[in-house]
Chain A
Amino acid sequence: MAYRRIRLLAAALSAVALASTACSGGAGDDKNIALRMTVWTTDKNQLALFDSIATEYRKTHPEVASVEFDVVPGDTSAYSAALTTQLSGGNPPDLAWILERDAPDFVQSGALTNLKPTLDAAAGYNAAELVPSATKLWTKEDGLYAYPFSTSPFGMFYNKNLLTRAGITETPDRLVASGRWTWDAARQIAAQVAAKDTGKAGLVIREFEYKQWVLLASVWRGFGADAWGPDGKTCGFTSPEMTAAMTFLHQAIFTDKALPGPGTTADFFAGEAGLTIAQISRAGLLKAKPFEWGIVPLPAGPKANAQVIGQAGIGVPVKGKHAKAAADFLAYFTNPANSAKLGQYFPPARDSLLNAATLAKANPLFSQEQLQNVVVNGIKTGAVLPSHTGSARIASLVQSALDPMWQPDANVPAALAGVCQAIDPALSR
């Protein structure tokens, strides 16, 4: 009796299993491949460009039935969490946009396919011209585990109208020209804009919002500081350079009111702030010309004229159903011709495209001078934002430990010592 019941249950479960297999049947069919690329961008123009490249590709690759660009909205942390969930939940994308801060984890874990053989073999691809500083993060031994799809320098955008209203005549571009574009000058301009009773903010570090502390690298690198040493094992938050940088920021926020304080929002691109530090790929938000604007490189600090780059790579997860086809599509997606097209939104990592004249064709929003100063020089001389294995864990520890610093009466050195205390065990792992 009991045996019969067990048999009945087993039969029912088998039926369910068979039905589910039938539903997913064909996924591995090499003649009817459906590729899915997880992307972070929600920009319609960028997605339309992706689609047009995919449509061209499919004309010569009839085995690829479709290429879907799966948009995962949200901030960078939410995106990374969603991507990880897809990978762990047995639903890996065929290609994935990966943020620079996650690069060490993805590359070291063996989760990504080595693209080098495919890119080297692709006709006319010329992988040798990829700028080494752009591929560094995605390289392990001789392998390349993601294509450095977007190598986007940070720059300082400024609102000419607001600066004029604040009575500022020494604008950032003039200061750059005269070699006096420093963090002190930027703070002074920002404080002057904020002090003008217009309800506008001075300087906004875009997306920082007192949570994404890694973006502060755009400030502290000029002071000669970094989050950790080159080996990734020594905490850099207690160094004199970092103390100077953070003291500068604290005073700019709470004494000069040059930066909006915690919990206050201001969107530069909506005309609510005088200056902003943002990646140049954000310039698309100014297409409608809401105000007169300019862009200059990041200011020089007391120790360096440091430029900072944000990066995203596109990788092919080894667990994807069509890894070979995905790598082949990636080779097409990032070949010289398509890299030039993508260059209007995503600064390329190809040496031949990294000059103001070529970039100007795809970037009508910028002058050649701006492209040379901010984009070309930024990519060639800049360093990528800090990244580390276990970066998400470290990020949450730093965020939490830095919170006491974002109070008007904070003890900056003590807060920074707390950061090192929090992350030392994670760094030494």
Chain B
Amino acid sequence: MTLTSRRRDELAGWLFIAPQALGFLAFVVAPLVAVVWYSFQDVNLLAGTSTFAGADNYAKLFDDPTAPKVARATAIFCVGLVVLNLALALSLALLLNLKLRGTTVFRTVFFSPVVVTLVAWTIVWNFLLQDNGGINSLLQAVGVDGPNWLRGNGTAMLSVIVVQVLKNVGLNMVLFLAALQGIPQSIVEASQLDGAGPWRRFRSVTLPMISPTTLLTAIITVAGALQVFAQIQVLTLGGPADSTNVLVFYFYQQAFANHDLGYGSALAVVLFLVILVLTLLQWRMRKRWVFHES
């Protein structure tokens, strides 16, 4: 049997993508399908048995008294993180975009946490935020009696958000910096000649010109915020009183600590849908607020 040249190319193409495709099927598609399947099952993890439960696991969500607290904590974390991260990243990028001495050092300093292992970073902060930890010792040195950061109802979530922002702000900062440096100088100069002051230039020139990057950073930060887990596990275990119990941590608790894999999977599917909807929403809204040169 002889193959035509086109067939040979086609076969070669399939063979080339086969390893990646098989890996994708085994490690991405199969687990996704399994999670959806498990969400309709009543699973006994210890005995290794499962029975079809229909939509019971999804119905359980409405009867679960912890679910509203989890939704609230997830929303607060997500909004807090996104706003703080993007605002700080953009501010730092604007500062570092000024042609000043030493900006390379600062760029390295702000970016370095991004490459630090997440758990190691969080463990260090766990020590610093203890009641008798480093942060409160510093505050005490200047005569301030610091709060019990990880145990206070208001301060625990704030602490988790700040730790996460400090960890990842460098990545968005670099993206914003690249976008800022891509703004044509001629447009800036033209706006200056037209009499635009710094604030007007920022609002009417800089922000529209970097809006594609803002869209990208917003999408990845929102998706990342909804998937936070390790920080909660290390810092607060969802406490105090569920004030930091976000959705990923809660479904981990349900599936693996409480042995309720069916309900845990239903929560995971809900989270998947939330991220999907939010991402699509942002993508749909890009036409309204993302500036395209064309």
Contacts and interface: CB of A to CB of B under 8 A. Distances in A.
Nearest to B18: A12
Contact of A16 (B22, B43, B66, B239): B22
A396 B253 contact: yes
B132 to A, nearest CB: 5
A262 B151 contact: yes
A399 B66 CA distance: 13
Interface string A362-387: 00000000000000000000000000
Nearest to B150: A263
Contacts of A390: 258
> What DSSP secondary structure best describes chain A's contact surface?
helix
B88 to A, nearest CB: 26
Interface size class, chain A: 35 or more
A262 B256 contact: no
A129 interface: no
B111 interface: no
Interface in B131-179: 131-133, 148-151
A263 to B, nearest CB: 4
B3 interface: no
Given A87-B46, A88-B48, A263 B257 contact: no
B130 to A, nearest CB: 5
A411 interface: no
A362 B150 CA distance: 43
A406 B151 contact: yes
Given A110-B47, A265-B132, A392 B257 contact: yes
Interface string A16-35: 10000000000000000000
A15 B214 CA distance: 46
Given A16-B22, A392-B258, A263 B149 contact: yes
B192 interface: no
A81 B252 CA distance: 9
Contacts of B257: 77, 80-81, 84, 392-393, 396
B261 interface: yes
Contacts of B238: 396, 400
A351 interface: no
Interface in A387-429: 390, 392-393, 396-397, 399-401, 403-404, 406, 422
A68 interface: no
A264 B256 contact: no
B241 interface: yes
B131 A262 contact: yes
B239 A109 contact: no
A399 B48 contact: no
A80 B259 CA distance: 10
Contacts of A265: 130, 132
A35 B132 CA distance: 45
Interface string B178-213: 000000000000000000000000000000000000
A105 to B, nearest CB: 6
Given A263-B149, A406-B151, A81 B131 contact: no
B241 A106 contact: no
Contact of B151 (A77, A210, A319, A392): A210
Contacts of A406: 151, 240
Contacts of B239: 211, 399-400, 403
A109 B258 contact: no
B44 interface: yes
Interface in A108-130: 109-111
Interface string B227-250: 000000000011111100100000
Contact of A393 (B22, B43, B260): B260
B120 to A, nearest CB: 15
Contacts of A105: 46, 259
Contacts of A263: 129-133, 148-151
B45 interface: yes
A422 B66 CA distance: 9
Nearest to A408: B148
Chain A CB within 10 Å, residue with most, of B46, B65, B238, B256:
B46
A393 B258 contact: yes
B256 A85 contact: yes
A237 to B, nearest CB: 15
B293 to A, nearest CB: 43
Nearest to A415: B241
A318 B242 CA distance: 36
Interface string B119-132: 00000000001111
Given A16-B22, A263-B148, A400-B238, A392 B132 contact: no
A301 interface: no
15 contacts: A81-B256, A84-B257, A88-B43, A109-B46, A261-B131, A264-B130, A265-B130, A318-B47, A319-B48, A392-B258, A392-B259, A393-B258, A403-B239, A404-B240, A406-B151
Interface of A: 12, 16, 77, 80-81, 84-85, 87-88, 105-106, 109-111, 210-211, 261-265, 318-319, 390, 392-393, 396-397, 399-401, 403-404, 406, 422
Closest 7 CB pairs of A and B: A263-B131, A111-B46, A403-B240, A109-B46, A403-B241, A393-B258, A81-B256
Given A84-B45, A264-B131, A265-B132, 5 more contacts: A16-B22, A85-B256, A105-B46, A263-B150, A400-B245
